Amino acid sequence: MTRSCKAYIAGVYEHPTRKATDKTLTQLHAEVAIGALKDAGLTMKDVDGYFCDSTVPGLGGLVMAEYLGLDLSYIDTTETGGSSYLVHVGHAMRAIAEGKCNVALITLAGRPRAEGLTSLPARDTGNDAPERGFELSYGPAVTNLYAMAAMRHMYEFGTTSEQLAWIKVAASHHAQHNEHAMLRDVVTVEDVVNSPLIADPLHRLDCCVISDGGGALVVVSPEIAKTLGDRNVKILGQGEAVKHLNGGKIDLTYTGAVKSGPSAFSEANLKPSDMDYASIYDSFTITVLETIEDLGFCEKGQGGKFVSDGNLISGVGKLPFNTDGGGLCNNHPSNRGGMTKVIEAVRQLRGEAHPAVQVPNCELALAHGTGGQISQRHGSATLILGRNDA
């Protein structure tokens, strides 16, 4: 069938660097922008909408717009951490539908490794942040925040470390085929559970890589898409949500995907079982497990069983996921993995993923981003995408 859509993703680009010692931050943003526009068959002169998060220097997107020489009629600098780019895609689709822009450029870049970051410290939100005095002194270090979500999930549903490990195992099976992936060795469940405990119950191999780099997307109107050939990907639905600590009434066993997922599926008039492929944000294995449940791929609490025995491995399981190796093995530029989630979903729908992991006849795909901490405040955003002829 041919589904209608309000906008298309026409161009994507993932920066090949994983350690950008010899590049500036603005240069990285510019290189991914140029790459995505070239992929789309467009130029910087065609761009009239620009979307970015706080990884760009200066006030909002103003500095980057100047650096790139953009002439804009629309700008959106929504910041929801690693989910920002999936939020941007939805906002770009709506801005295009309202006629406020026709070619939207979305960029992400960062160089935490070049700056010497080897582990993720607590995010200091500054003196004016009301929660700061009640959190920072206790040593929230990202890993232990996600670990508490895992610990609670294990307590309530009997989820095991071995089940979480299957998520990493699947990612590693995919990453072996990606020449740019930071971790290309295939690992076993035993390898994961025998790797050092970083923050109980998460092991080193439950954690994503730290990498430099970035990526960019170009979202265009249907009229422009028509002029660009058949590699465009339809944006069929998008949903976003924010989850927080709710005044101290907490539940760490679910994420904002419980809202962003249904919102996106509803807009697309599709359901989880329709998806041929899924890119799921994977800062940690627990992030994937909770998100898969929240998006409705299985019942709440059954995620451990669902991800086991290779069910996420392309060609083996029912839900091939993160076929580039994801944040767990490939790339997590600027500690924000939402961008690369969209890029790999687009590759799958174009049939341009690595042949060893390409899902045959991939027509419908999901991409999901999570930003911030799932055990504190975070943004969630879900995209439902379709092949050009979907």
Partner 1 sequence: MSREERVYADPSMNMENEEYWKATKQGKLILKKCDDCGETHFFPRIICPHCQSSNTSWYEASGKGRIYSYSVVRRAPIPYAIAYVTLDEGVSMLTNLVDCDFDDLAVDKEVEVTFRDTEGGEKLPMFRPV
Q: Roughly what angle, to the nearest 10 degrees, separates helices 285-295 and 257-268?
A: 50
Residues in contact with partner 1 by CB under 8 A are 127-128, 130-141, 143-145, 147-149, 151-152, 155, 196-202, 245-250, 252, 375
The smaller minimum CB distance to partner 1, of residues 146 and 265, is found at 146
Least gap, CB of 299 to partner 1 (angstroms): 21
**Structure tokens that stand for 338 in this block:** 């939402």
Contact predicate 151/201, CB 8 Å = yes
Least gap, CB of 272 to partner 1 (angstroms): 27
CB neighbour list of residue 27: distance below 8 Å, 6 or more residues apart: none
Q: Is the four-CA dihedral 281, 285, 290, 293 of positive or negative sign?
A: positive
Identify any residues that bridge with 215 across adjacent strands, giving them in sequence order.
14, 108
Consecutive H or E run containing 191: helix 189-193
Cis before 333? omega within 30: no
Least gap, CB of 36 to partner 1 (angstroms): 38
Q: For residue 207, count other CB atoms closer than 10 A to its CB.
A: 25
The smaller minimum CB distance to partner 1, of residues 84 and 255, is found at 255
Q: Which of 342, 358, 349, 370 is nearest to 218 (CA)?
A: 342
What's the N-to-C CA distance of the chain in angstroms?
A: 6
Least gap, CB of 284 to partner 1 (angstroms): 12
The smaller minimum CB distance to partner 1, of residues 106 and 149, is found at 149
**Structure tokens that stand for 82 in this block:** 């690693």
The smaller minimum CB distance to partner 1, of residues 124 and 190, is found at 124
Contact predicate 253/149, CB 8 Å = yes
Least gap, CB of 197 to partner 1 (angstroms): 6
Least gap, CB of 195 to partner 1 (angstroms): 12
Least gap, CB of 70 to partner 1 (angstroms): 38
Q: How many CA atoms lie within 13 A of 220 on its CB side?
A: 25
The smaller minimum CB distance to partner 1, of residues 27 and 143, is found at 143
Q: Enter the DSSP assignment of 56.
A: S
Q: Which of 238, 218, 214, 197 is nearest to 339 (CA)?
A: 214
The smaller minimum CB distance to partner 1, of residues 196 and 360, is found at 196
Least gap, CB of 58 to partner 1 (angstroms): 26
The smaller minimum CB distance to partner 1, of residues 94 and 132, is found at 132
Mark 44-58 as b/e (b = at least 16 C-beta within 10 Å): eebbbbbbbbebbee
The DSSP secondary structure of 206-234, one letter per residue, reads GBPP-B-EEEEEEEE-HHHHHTT-S--EE
Q: How far apart are CA 82 and CA 88, in angstroms?
A: 11
Least gap, CB of 338 to partner 1 (angstroms): 24
Least gap, CB of 180 to partner 1 (angstroms): 29
Q: How far apart are CA 191 and CA 108, in angstroms?
A: 32
